[in-house]
């Protein structure tokens, strides 16, 4: 007889990088942070990242989404820039903006990438209480999160 353990499927808030920087820095779509929802999003965070709610993984699995790829070393123990994994792969998991746009067709990438306005298409700013609110159902992780090391969607 098989015993099944109860699974914990929380809803997690994710911060996604909005644009690619120099190769050593985050690339567009990289998952920069995961946390419990409802903590609040500051204006600087709203300008730097796209925030969305995702569900379908266990809490420990969501924690894995922030892990990094380690840069490979050459035989002398030094970093090898000519290796198969380049430095921009330091964030292993991402949500490509084009994939997000296929799931949410009305996503305006021009507005999302504008660093001047804090445009969050999945949240609404409550100016009375200075809180970001949402009534949108969370995205499911399936087919949305890309593993750059394996080249597959979770």
Percent of the chain whose predicted confidence (pLDDT) is above 90: 25
Segment 45-75, tens digit of pLDDT: 888 899 999 998 887 788 788 776 655 555 5
Name the band, by pLDDT with cuts 50, 70 and 90, for residue 100. Answer: very high
**Domain membership flag for residue 112:** yes
Mean pLDDT of 98-125: 89
Q: What's residue 51's pLDDT?
A: 93
pTM: 0.78
**Domain membership flag for residue 134:** yes
**Domain membership flag for residue 4:** no
**Domain membership flag for residue 111:** yes
**pLDDT value at 154 more than 90:** no
Q: How far apart are CA 154 and CA 152, in angstroms?
A: 6
Mean pLDDT of the residues in the chain = 79
Segment 69-86, tens digit of pLDDT: 655 555 555 555 565 544
Q: How far apart are CA 154 and CA 147, in angstroms?
A: 7
**Domain membership flag for residue 148:** yes
Q: What's residue 52's pLDDT?
A: 92
**Domain membership flag for residue 1:** no
Q: How far apart are CA 17 and CA 131, in angstroms?
A: 21
Boundaries of domain holding 85: 11-153
Mean pLDDT of 108-137: 84
**pLDDT value at 87 more than 50:** no
**Domain membership flag for residue 6:** no
The number of domains in the chain is 1
Give the DSSP letter string of 89-132.
GGB-EE--HHHHHHHSTT--HHHHH-SSS---TT-EEETTTTEE
Q: What's residue 84's pLDDT?
A: 54
């Amino acid at each position: 007889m098989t015993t099944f353990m109860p699974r914990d499927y929380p809803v997690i808030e994710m911060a996604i990088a909005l644009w690619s920087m120099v190769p050593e820095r985050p690339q567009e779509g990289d998952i920069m942070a995961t946390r419990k929802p409802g903590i609040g999003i500051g204006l600087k965070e709203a300008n730097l990242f796209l925030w969305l709610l995702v569900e379908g993984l266990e809490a420990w699995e969501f924690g894995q989404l922030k892990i990094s790829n380690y840069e490979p070393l050459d035989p002398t123990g030094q970093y090898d820039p000519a290796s198969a994994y380049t430095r921009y792969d330091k964030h292993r998991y991402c949500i490509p903006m084009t994939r997000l746009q296929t799931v949410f067709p009305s996503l305006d990438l021009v507005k999302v990438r504008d660093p001047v306005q804090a445009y969050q298409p999945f949240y609404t700013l409550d100016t009375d209480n200075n809180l970001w609110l949402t009534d949108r159902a969370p995205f499911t992780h399936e087919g949305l999160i890309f593993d750059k090391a394996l080249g597959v969607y979770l």
